[in-house]
Amino acid sequence: MAGTRKLVPVLHSSEKKFRSVYELGNRLLIKGLYVDPITFEHPVIAKVDFKINFDLFAGYITTARKNSDHKLLRDRYCKIVFGQIKELLEYVKPICAGDIDIIIKSGFDSNRQPEKHAAPEQPVIEKVVPGKNEGTYKIFVQLKRNKTGVDQDPTTHDKSVKYCAEITTTPDIEDSWSVIIPNASILKLIFSKFTPLVKNYIRVYGINASGAGQKSAAFMFLPM
């Protein structure tokens, strides 16, 4: 019976899914086994050794999009970090001993938890141009047709992601941003609310079942 299956910690990741490797590694560091030395007294890999590789890996994720050499280094350190995570998984298994509370403390998922998609990554606005209908504008967001910087896995390209767009004329005042597109596909970011003849600023972010992703950098345009 499914209800009698023993609970065990699991990876829900692979070395080819660098974003999920990053999220799991980060979770182990900030709220998993490395912050509970009472339950996990002697990790098979010391925190300082894990963090050195993880920080290098995280840094190359940021720069890989514009640097092919850094992409190779990102993938190299992804394999290293993933290998360390697998060793840590084997370390926590006997400690967890089927206890869901200890599994949660470890930072790993359990075998009864479905694999979760990551929140959408930060979009990049390419341009804002007049729309087909008078008095409208359309936002173009960078599409990753060459798959650079994207996990080699279909879950990275979740078509259920919707996008929200905000606008302001005073980008440094956080409370001044207002929503102009609450829920649209990445190809249909069309809006009609703006202030003509002055600099307007747009930002966009994706939303999926895991929540809202990081907002894009503010993009300036001058509507007529």
What are the domain boundaries of the chain? Answer: 2-110, 125-221
What pLDDT, on a 0 to 100 scale, did the predictor assign at position 63?
A: 87
Q: Give 185-190 contacts, CB < 8 A, sequence gap 24+.
A: 186/123, 186/141, 186/143, 186/161, 189/138, 189/139, 189/140, 189/141, 189/163, 189/165, 190/131, 190/136, 190/137, 190/138, 190/139
The single-letter code of the amino acid at 10 is V
Tens digit of pLDDT per residue, the chain (224 long)? 444 568 999 998 888 888 889 999 999 999 999 999 999 999 999 999 999 999 999 999 888 878 889 999 999 999 999 999 999 999 999 999 999 999 999 999 998 876 666 678 889 999 999 999 999 999 999 886 544 444 444 444 455 789 999 999 999 999 999 999 999 999 999 999 999 999 999 999 998 877 788 899 999 999 98
219: nearest Cα among 149, 166, 157, 174: 166
What pLDDT, on a 0 to 100 scale, did the predictor assign at position 30?
A: 92
Write down the CATH number for the domain with range 125-221: 2.60.40.10
What pLDDT, on a 0 to 100 scale, did the predictor assign at position 155?
A: 41
